[in-house]
Amino acid sequence: MADRSRSGQVALTGWGRTAPTPATVTTAASADEVRALLGEAGPRGLLARGLARSYGDAAQNAGGHVLDTTALDGVLDVDLGAAVVEVEAGVSLDRLMTLLVPLGLFVPVTAGTRYVTVGGAIAADIHGKDHHRTGSFSRHVEWLDLLTADGEVRRIGPDRDPELFWATAGGMGLTGVVLRAAVRMRRIETAQLLVDTDRTPDLDALLELLTATDHLYDYSVAWIDCVARGARLGRSVLTRGRFAHRDELPARHRADPLRYSGSVRLTAPDLFPSGLLNPVTVAAFNEVWYRKAPARRRAQLQSIPTFFHPLDGVGSWNRVYGRRGFVQYQFVVPLGQEETLRCVVERIATSGTASFLAVLKRFGAGDPGYLSFPQEGWTLALDIPVVAGLAELLDGLDELVVAAGGRIYLAKDARVRPDLLPRMYPRLDRFRAVRARVDPGGVFTSDLARRLCL
């Protein structure tokens, strides 16, 4: 057994860079090393952590142990005929794309960043621009190996201990450590997408266009100007697309249709002042961004990084928000609750906060995961710099969302009140019962779990 690399006490944050807490971080490169760490967890417990792209405190464990899983990054088997890969949980979607896109396979679901581990994708049950077609990530997992608190490795899946599987899918790492998984991939003929773009003048026009056309596309997402008010409230740029077939490519691309490169072009320095993104600068940026988008464009070829992961081209882009950091606020409300969505957008626009990263998608039916976030409806995600009065604003938005039958995404959260959680997640008691069954001593825990009494 290889020696485990221990980095000692480290102050950890989520991607939003708020509320740091110290933990003892240990890197393990095998299941045996992970199992050995169970005996060292102590009263503050243990939590697995991947590439730290959850925005809030889901991957922090104050005063306890944190397991860095990124060394568990093996690709164990690729079945091209069945389009199924078996991988260790620390492998990233970025690495899978680099290896498998040239073979004609694409990940079934990708978030707005490719720097997510497979274990993290399962723990947060990530969703993407194709949720209305294909659901969340865990729907494409055939099985996974879970190390539970008793030291046992259990192979579970939708048809193998489905209660434990659906408590683990979206369970934020609180049922055990995912070690390996088998994931069904998507077949593609090319690494290019055909993308349609429409600029809409307001929120009503956006929702109408999405409702009328979303079913025609594999992928769709809208950027919303959350600073615009009045008649321009919710003006948007909507992009929808699908992977191109080989015969749809220009001749110059057909010789190597599956060529793929996901590169980081530059890295943001840690020098930005906290007030750089304010209502004035964001309003100016949003005006330029909206105006430069075509009013209507059809069948534009875009690469995978351009369409799915534009921010990944800038390393450490979260530093742009300054040392105070930022909050990503993501919620979903059911179809029929468009007035609640409008009210949220209006409150954001008139609040004096500044969000230039605001994206709206239409979800399809949710997964069976007890804490899985998506449900059929509208989801809006906003990056908001930490400023005075932000907590009160978001508390008020929580009340609107809950009253409408919606919920907040736990992978993005750092501040929701625990009394709201049962109303957001009606299967919370089922999750707690499964967690108590497999981890009665509460070995696996996190700052989020303690804050929300999970």
**Plot region of 390 (φ>0 → left; ψ -120 to 50 → alpha; else → beta):** alpha
**Angle at which helices 390-403 and 338-350 pack, to 10 degrees?**
170
Give the separation between CA 56 and CA 74, rounded to whole angstroms. 27
Of 270-279, 368-377, 397-406, give the lowest mean pLDDT range: 270-279
Q: What percent of the chain has pLDDT over 90?
A: 86
Question: Mean pLDDT in the chain?
Answer: 94
Give the separation between CA 191 and CA 118, rounded to whole angstroms. 21
CATH number, domain 192-416: 3.40.462
What is the residue whose two structure tokens read 């996190």?
446
Give the separation between CA 86 and CA 364, rounded to whole angstroms. 27
Which of 22-26, 40-44, 284-288 has the largest mean confidence? 22-26
Q: Looking at residues 382-399, what average pLDDT do you find?
A: 94
State the pLDDT at residue 2: 37
Q: Report pLDDT digits (tens) over 108-132.
A: 999 999 999 999 999 999 999 999 9
Question: Is it the case that residue 1 has pLDDT exceeding 70?
Answer: no
Q: Report pLDDT digits (tens) over 75-117.
A: 999 999 999 999 999 999 999 999 999 999 999 999 999 999 9
C-alpha distance across the termini of the chain, in Å:
34
Q: Report pLDDT digits (tens) over 158-210.
A: 999 999 999 999 999 999 999 999 999 999 999 999 999 999 999 999 999 99
State the pLDDT at residue 263: 81
Q: Report pLDDT digits (tens) over 271-328.
A: 888 878 788 888 888 888 889 999 999 999 999 999 999 999 999 999 988 889 999 9
Tokens standing for residue 405: 């039958």
DSSP 101-129: GGGTEE-S---S-S--BHHHHHHTT---T
Tokens standing for residue 392: 């009160």
